[in-house]
Amino acid sequence: MPAIEIKDLEKKYKDKVAVNKISFVINDGELFSLLGVNGAGKTTTIKMLSCLTKPTSGDALIFGNSIIGNPYEVKRLISISPQETAIAGNLTVKENLDFIAGIYQVKDEKSKVEKILKELNLDKVSSQKTKTLSGGYQRRLSIAMALITEPKVLYLDEPTLGLDVIARRELWDVIKSLKGKITIILTTHYMEEAENLSDRVAIMSNGKINIIDTPKNIIKASCSKTFEDAFIEFAKEVK
Amino acid sequence: MRALVFAKRNLKEIVRDPLSLIFGIGLPAFLLIIFQQFNIPSEVYNINNFAPAVAIFAFGFVTLFSATLISKDRTTSFLTRMFASPMEPKDFILGYTLAMIPVVIFQTVLFFLIAMFLGLNLSINILFTILILIPISLIFIGLGLLIGCITSDKSAPGVSSIIIQLVAFTSGMWFDTSMVGKTFQTICNILPFKYCVDLSKAFLHGNYNNILMPIIVIIISIMIIYLVAVLLFKRKMQGDAK
């Protein structure tokens, strides 16, 4: 069974079409990147897939569960790390994880929190209030909060936005370690990040998917030398 | 269960922001103390009337706390994360409401302790008044939910301060509302704040003759406010998460 099956998914805001009847399949364990310039429809697509906004038409199945017909079951299977870190600022790192584990009613909560603190190198700052953490640690916590729920599908919306090079590379290592274990949909404006991390990439513009393939095949298809050039080729407006 | 976990988090967020908490409790407490020093020749400022009125006035700050917390949760995308979780609208409403109840109890008990120090006679009616103030506070917590749902974290304190002003001017806290003309009195009679003060005074005085009207108005207000809050949360969860 594919992890995600998107069928003619469309979202309109009055007359503006944000996502224009897209269809594709994402395999279980795949790291799939959604790329596009601002306003291409990436975030709207993720919002629909995570039941944060209702599609105008079409549907998507997450491990067989419809985002329209069965949103609460879908929400048990997914987790999201939004563009902003979305952490509770006055709570400590550990309290944030305990809180999310409580909301998702995670079993063996204590041992799982300890495990994820170690895995994401957050144990040193576990008793620190999150508003005092550096941007890199806040991003890492945001992903840890998404992972503690043991999701089958993880949405990472620009996870390395605003991070310095070292913090970004450290976060790449975290994301790479998840590959094959859970299905990840990543949105990013860093081409290098998409090229390095993704199994497959979809490039969107004006709410449509212009190409879906591996980064290497996308470079070949555009006859470009770099992935960034290939992206520019496919991200141009479709007339 | 999820609502309790959420309430615990919300309470921590509020009590760990001591500046607004001190302001929200300190200002009404200051007013209670200072106006008892002036010996103003009006029944409104008699400690038996002024203490329950100040407790209601302080609930305006509860509106401010809840509105600020919710709008901040929206602005920082914290609610986006929560809307993508298996939480339902009732869990959000309960979670934000339950978190405010300990604040309400703490405020109210503190004001009555100060009032006793200022001359309020100790009686069982104080306990009854504190108990009736808890359901009354739902009006103010609910208004905070509504304001938090529709305003940004920058505008929430400003909009909430309108509620604080409305409570001050229309509740009969500072003056008898019948003194300021028909139009103003009609506004006071439409808004629920006067009834909140009347009901709490009735409980403190042990005079239950005229409590039916305030009870009806307060129950209807709570029902309307919470119904709108649930609908707004449902809409936010199904639409734009911000």
Written as six digits, the tokens of A4 are 């995600």
Nearest chain B CA: its distance from A19 CA (Å): 15
pLDDT at A237: 55
Identify from A103, A152, A156, A187 which residue to disrupt to test chain B contact, counting B C-beta atoms within 10 A and taking the largest count.
A103
Contact B104/B196 with Cβ under 8 angstroms?
A: no
Q: Which residues does chain B have within 8 Å of residue A78's beta carbon, measured at their own beta carbons? A: 84
Q: Write out the H or E segment, with its range, that includes residue A2.
A: none
B160-207 residue pLDDT tens: 999 999 998 898 888 888 888 888 889 999 999 999 999 999 999 999
A54–B239 CB contact, under 8 Å: yes
The answer to whether the Cβ–Cβ distance between B241 and A53 falls below 8 Å is yes
- Which residues in chain B touch residue A149, judged by CB atoms under 8 angstroms apart? 85
Asked if pLDDT for residue B239 goes beyond 80, the answer is no
Give me the domains of chain A, ranges plus CATH numbers. 4-84+152-235 (3.40.50.300)
B9 contacts in chain A (CB < 8 Å): 88, 91, 95, 99
Q: What is the pLDDT of residue B241?
A: 43
Residue A67 pLDDT: 95
pLDDT of residue B99: 96
Torsion angle in degrees (nearest 10) through CA of B81, B86, B92, B96 = -70
DSSP characters over A12-47 = EETTEEEEEEEEEEE-TT-EEEEEESTTSSHHHHHH
| Interface touch B76/A85, C-beta < 8 Å | yes
Q: CB B84 to CB A51 under 8 A?
A: yes
Q: Residue A187 and residue A203: Cα distance in Å, rounded?
A: 10
Q: How far is A229 from chain B (nearest CA, A)?
A: 33
In Å, how far are A5, A33, A191, B178 from A199, measured between CA atoms? 17, 8, 14, 74
Residue of A nearest to B88 (CA): A72
pLDDT in tens, A54-86: 999 999 999 999 999 999 899 999 999 988 889
Query: According to the model, what pLDDT value does residue B142 have?
Result: 96
User: B77 contacts in A (CB within 8 Å)?
Assistant: 82-86
* CB contact A47 to B (< 8 Å): yes
Q: Is A215 on the interface with B (CB under 8 A)?
A: no
Run of H or E residues at B71: helix B47-75
Of A47, A53, A103, the CB nearest to B87: A103
At residue B242 the predicted structure's pLDDT band, cuts being 50, 70 and 90, is: very low
Q: What is the pLDDT of residue B202?
A: 95
ipTM of the complex: 0.88
What pLDDT was estimated at residue A119?
86
Share of chain B above pLDDT 90, in %: 65
Nearest CA distance, A159 vs chain B (angstrom)? 14
Partners of residue B1 in chain A, C-beta under 8 Å: 105
Average pLDDT for chain B: 91
In the chain, the amino acid numbered B95 is G
B241: DSSP letter: -
Tell me what pLDDT residue A238 has: 54
Asked if A84 lies within 8 A of B77 by C-beta distance, the reply is yes
- The residue among A11, A43, A80, A91 with the most chain B CBs within 10 A of its CB, best to mutate, is A80
Contacts of A75 in chain B (CB under 8 A): 84-86
Establish if B241 touches chain A: CB-CB under 8 angstroms: yes
B227 contact A CB<8A: no
Sheet holding A16-26, edge to edge: A16-26, A4-13, A57-62, A65-66
Query: Per residue in A20-60, pLDDT tens?
Result: 999 999 999 999 999 999 889 998 999 999 999 999 999 99
B5 in reach of chain A (CB within 8 A):
yes
Angstroms from B19 CA to nearest CA on chain A: 13
Whether the predicted pLDDT of B240 surpasses 60? no
Radius of gyration of chain A (CA): 18
How many other C-beta atoms are found inside a 10 Å radius of the C-beta of residue B98?
17
> For chain A, first and last CA: distance in Å?
36
Q: Which residues pair with A19 in a beta bridge?
A: A11
Nearest CA in chain B to A74: B86
Domain coordinates in residue numbering, chain B: 2-238
Residues of chain A with pLDDT under 70: 237-239
Running DSSP on this structure, what letter comes out for residue B43?
A: G
